[in-house]
Amino acid sequence: MHEDTLAYNDHQSGDEQLICRELAGLIDKNLKAAENKVWHAHPVWFLDGNPVVGYAKRKCGINLLFWSGQSFDEPGLKHEGKFKAAEICYSALSQINKTDLKRWLKKSAAIQWDYKNIVKRKGVLERLV
């Protein structure tokens, strides 16, 4: 895990720090091939340069975002934005369902839209896998 991600997690307080540490550990464990870095001030994991999952502190708590999550067909994830992203927000460590999260992480590797080239394609997303 990138040191900037560890610093981001350590900068949070109370339950939010615990949530960040738990999410980071589970993401790292289940997406071994992913590169992790802080991108736009938040921890994000990339596969072949394409963002797949990340989290950020929001008003609701810690918001976990899957860039291609709308294609996962998962009732626990809420659609976000005009592209293919989906999210869930955690305000307590006990809200993290590890079974669901592992399934979503598996789908994040198997189902990807090409966000890496979205600017080059003028906002048009293409499915990668």
Domain parsing of the chain, residue ranges: 3-110
Q: Give me the CATH topology for the region 3-110.
A: Aspartate Aminotransferase, domain 1 (3.90.1150)
Q: Which residue has the tokens 């294609």?
A: 71
Q: What is the three-class DSSP state of 42?
A: strand
Residue pLDDT, tens place only, 43-102: 999 999 999 999 999 999 999 999 999 999 999 999 998 889 999 999 999 999 999 999
Closest-CA residue to 96 (of 64, 52, 74): 64
Cβ(77)–Cβ(86) under 8 Å? Answer: yes
